[in-house]
Structure 1
Amino acid sequence: MSGRAADRRWDSSFWLWDLYVVGGCAAIAIGLFFVGDPAAPHPLWGALALCGIAACHLVVGRRVILSRERGWRAQAFVAAILVLFVAAVLFAPASMSAIVVLYPLTFMSLPLGKALAVTTLVTAIPVVTVVVKFGWDAAQTRMVLSVGLMAFVVAPLIGTWITRTVLQSEERADLLDELAARRADVERLSRDAGTAAERARLAREIHDTLAQGFTSIVALAQAIESELDSAPEQAKRHLALVASTARENLVEARAMVATLTPSALGAGTLVDAVRRQAQRLALESGIAVEVEAPADLRRLPTAAEVVLLRSAQEALANVGRHAHATRVTVHIEETADGVLLRTVDDGAGFDVTSVEGYGLSGMRARAEEAGGSCRVSSTPGAGTAVEVEVPA
């Protein structure tokens, strides 16, 4: 429950306090007519003063208490009910019983220190007034004095309890509001983190599929331009490969929009998809590409196969663009923990400590997200080996 909900719950149950105040004042006012006090032949005025206390609460007091206002309105409200209480005791000393109504209203309207001072006055003024009016030996004095002494002892206890209860309720409401705000912050941060992760994943998907395909199309178009006059048959083959690559890119784009599952995996096994990527590299670049894999390679979860396929695509694309290799071997094997894909070329190699493009970092991120690992080993002039392992 939020702090505002707690406030609404308090507001909705405040009618019980209204009932207590009005009922208490009414009961005491009615009782004045049955006390039979000879010193108070006109209890009507005392009863009217008590009714005035109830009216003040309904008109002003409840609004002050519910708003937790501690300013001049609260002080004016307490002053008004104090004057009415003293008047009620003067007209009918038995009205002293109304302190059971006055004390809670005072402590709910004022800070603890001021409330204690006011309740002391509430207790002392009627006692002094009755003593002056009736003397020490009067029955009314003994009754008012006994009630006053008892109230003097009980008032701090009642006040402390009421104040502590109100403060705890306010602190609890503030804490609930703070918790609700923190929960909203956590939900927002989670959404932001999820959005960022999804953007990164889509960026890797686009880089490993559409961008690779477009790069191949550009390379083939450049080759066709130089072959149109000198090698028209080779140009025709490359032109057919351009059309094939464009169609595959279109299929990948549609698959990405639909399910983000590579269409190459939907057409067969992981090994089949890797072989198609290898054949494409061989046709585009003339590099000898060999794929070694067991015929009964176990099927992996789709997410794991996506990681291996994208890793093979990236590794082969890097060979075609950067390695200047003549031969590439893609080896797929089962391990104790999962499946290992290893791509080895005899190209120029590079310094792995100083070069890492988006493709390699994306490959590593994919593997780690799937609970696997990615290792790149290379030495300038000695080729490159890329190993990606994912759990089964």
Structure 2
Amino acid sequence: MRDDPFSPAVRLLGWAVHGTFLVLLAIAAVQVLNDGLYAAAAGGLALGALYVAGVTFGHWRTSAAQGRGWLVLLTLAWITLALASPDFVWLAFPLFFVYHHLLPLPVALPGVVLMTAAAVATIGWHTHTLTLAQVLGPSIGAAVATLMSMAYRALYRESEARRRLIGDLVSTRERLVRAEGDAARLAERERLAREIHDTLAQGMSSIILLLRAVRRDLDTDRAAADARLLEAEEAAAENLEEARGFVRALAPPALRGSSLADALRRVTESAAARTPTRVRFEVSGTPVALPIGHDVALLRIAQGALGNVARHSGAGNAGVTLTFLDDLVVLDVYDDGCGFDPRGAPGSDGTGFGLRAMRERARAVGGTLTVESAPGEGTAVAATLPLPDETPPPGGTPPPDGDPLPEEAT
């Protein structure tokens, strides 16, 4: 039968119809053999073969014409056999279901009525009489098959309507989620635009006006020029503090009010407190201030790697090392746990989802991430990020809040 949302029940009904047809055909064939009607028995075998071939190899879902042609052949073969022996008349009952399945209702109903009349007439032709039982038998069978088929059609239409409604609801929900995401991004952009316009842009405008006044008064009124310079310096300092406020608002909580090294130390201590693994943190080289994007990427990579150590490695010892080189900063997270084969882990790049996310974070700031591991030999994750050109030279002290902005505006 056709595919639908309650297809198991429909398949069961289909097999019941097929089984009924073949059982009635077998009974009729045995009976005509006992009566010596060998040609009718052979015709019954041919009808069975035609039925099985149509059910097995029919392509009615894509070609309704093939199914209807097959139904015409079945009907003609049934009429021929029913005229040969009344034992084949009762094959009309399963054929009623086939009519309703392959034909639209306005066509199936007249077809069932004609088959019922043919069955009654054939029985009367063989018995030379017509009783009430001979009329009611095929008629009741036709009525039952019709009612069951109509009930299935109604259920199918209702289920299809429900399926379309659910599809529309899912599609609407997806559009709503996308719209909410777009609205949130637009709202955030508008908020930042308002903040920048009301603070940084206004401050910059004030500085420009003050510097123009300084240039105007520099030769004629030195005291006024100095006063204007002092005001410009104060305005620049205020703008710098506003910028730092923006950076702190966008940074992860662990980076607020602290350097990357301090944030990594706290993350390491937290990981050690939550698991039996002994975790050690070290800083190598001279720390320098990094852009907030570098800080966030390295912090998130460390958190992800330590999370993998806690969940999967079973390690007794682990370490986190932050190394500052002349033009690179390197974060190493390693453990002595069970290890794994990076090439066999799920994911398009040979790693799991967590490692894939770490790799994307490193790539987003121009860096790389490598994973070295083998079963039974522990794991080492290394993130290497290039230092930007504007990074202060080695020996400089990073700002206390970890942001990359200089301490002085001048």
TM-score computed with the length of structure 1 as normaliser = 0.53
- Are the structure 2 counterparts of residues 248 and 28 from structure 1 closer, same or farther at C-alpha, using a change threshold of 3 Å? farther
* Structure-2 residue corresponding to 1:28: 24
Counterparts of 1:254 and 1:82, CA distance in 2: 87
The higher relative CO (CA closer than 8 Å, separation ≥ 6) is in 2
Alignment of 1:202-217 (within 5 A): 202-217=192-207
Please state which structure has a larger fraction of its residues in helix: 1
Mapped contact 1:108–1:162 kept (Cα < 8 A):
no
Offset, 1:200: 1.9
Q: Structure 2 matches for 1:145-294, cutoff 5 A?
A: 145-260=135-250
Structure 2: distance between partners of 1:178 and 1:244: 59
CA contact (8 A) 1:7 1:173 kept: no
Q: Hey, what's the Cα distance between the residues in 2 that align with 1:122 and 1:93?
A: 14
Gaps of 5+ in 2: 258-410
Task: Flag the structure with larger Rg.
Answer: 1
Q: Spell out, residue by residue over 1:68-100, the C-alpha distance to the aligned partner (whole angstroms, 9 max, x if none).
A: x7x534433432333343344345533343344
Shift of the alpha carbon at 1:247?
4.4
Alpha-carbon distance in 2 for matches of 1:78, 1:244: 94
CA–CA distance in structure 1, aligned partners of residues 52 and 194 of structure 2:
73
Relative distance call for 1:26 and 1:213 in structure 2 (3 A) is: same
Asked if 1:19 corresponds to 2:15, the answer is yes
Matched, 1:94 2:84: no
Alpha-carbon shift at residue 220 of structure 1 (Å): 1.5
Q: Given residue 246 of structure 2, which amino acid in structure 1 is its aligned partner?
A: M
Q: Secondary structure at the match of 1:211?
A: helix
Give yes or no for contact 2:5–2:160 (8 Å, CA) kept in 1: no
> Does the alignment pair 1:38 with 2:35?
yes
Amino acid at match of 1:108: H
Query: Matches of 1:77 and 1:199 in 2, distance apart?
Result: 66
Partner AA of 1:31 in structure 2: I
Which residue number in structure 2 is paired with residue 127 of structure 1?
A: 120
Range 209-218 or range 193-202, more displaced: 193-202
Q: Which moved more, 1:245-254 or 1:167-176?
A: 245-254
Distance 2:36 2:138 in 1: 19
Match of 2:54 in 1: 56
Where does structure 1 lack aligned partners over 5 or more consecutive residues? 1-5, 268-392
SS of residue in 1 equivalent to 2:128: coil
Structure 2 SS opposite 1:259: helix
For 2:195 and 2:4, how far apart are their aligned partners in 1? 51
Report the RMSD for the aligned CA atoms in angstroms: 3.6
C-alpha spacing 1:73/1:256, structure 2 compared with 1 (3 Å): farther
Secondary structure in 1 aligned to 2:219?
coil
User: Where in structure 2 are the equivalents of 1:300-379 lying within 5 Å?
Assistant: none
For 1:229-281, what per-residue CA distance to the aligned partner results, in whole angstroms no more than 9, with x for missing partners? Answer: 233244234324434433443443354355259xxxx99xxxxxxxxxxxxxx
Aligned partner letter, 2:75: L
**Deviation, structure 1 residue 210:** 1.6
Give the deviation of 1:52 after TM superposition.
1.8
Tell whether 2:116 aligns with 1:118.
no
Match of 2:100 among 104, 107, 115: 107
Alpha-carbon distance change, 169 to 80 in structure 1, aligned in 2, over 3 angstroms: farther
* Matched positions, count: 250
Query: How much identity, in percent, do the aligned residues show?
Result: 26
SS in 1 for 2:220: coil
Q: For residue 216 of structure 1, report the CA deviation from its aligned partner.
A: 1.6
Q: CA-to-partner distance for each residue in 1:348-373, whole Å, 9 max, x for gaps? A: xxxxxxxxxxxxxxxxxxxxxxxxxx
For normalisation by structure 2, the TM-score amounts to 0.51
1:224 offset after TM fit, Å? 1.5
CA distance in 2, matches of 1:161, 1:118: 18
For residues 240 and 4 of structure 2, the distance between their equivalents in structure 1, rounded to whole angstroms, comes to: 58
Distance change >3 Å, CA 253–CA 44, structure 1 → 2: farther
Amino acid at match of 1:105: V
Distance 1:8 1:33, change over 3 A: closer
Structure 1 pair 112–237 and aligned structure 2 pair: CA distance change class (3 A): same
Aligned residue number for residue 290 of structure 1: none
Structure 2 CA distance for partners of 1:13 and 1:229, relative to 1, 3 Å: farther
Counterpart AA for 1:223: A
- Whether contact under 8 Å (2:200, 2:239) holds in the other structure is yes
Instruction: Give the counterpart of 2:76 among 83, 90, 95.
Output: 83
State the Cα deviation string for residues 332-354 of structure 1 (Å, max 9, x = none): xxxxxxxxxxxxxxxxxxxxxxx
Over 3 Å counting, the alpha-carbon distance change for 1:206 and 1:74 in structure 2 is farther
Counterpart in the other structure of 1:337: none
* Partner of residue 343, structure 1: none
Equivalent pair of 2:116/2:138 in contact (CA under 8 Å): yes
| CA–CA separation in structure 2 for the residues paired with 1:19 and 1:172 | 26
CA contact (8 A) 1:103 1:159 kept: no
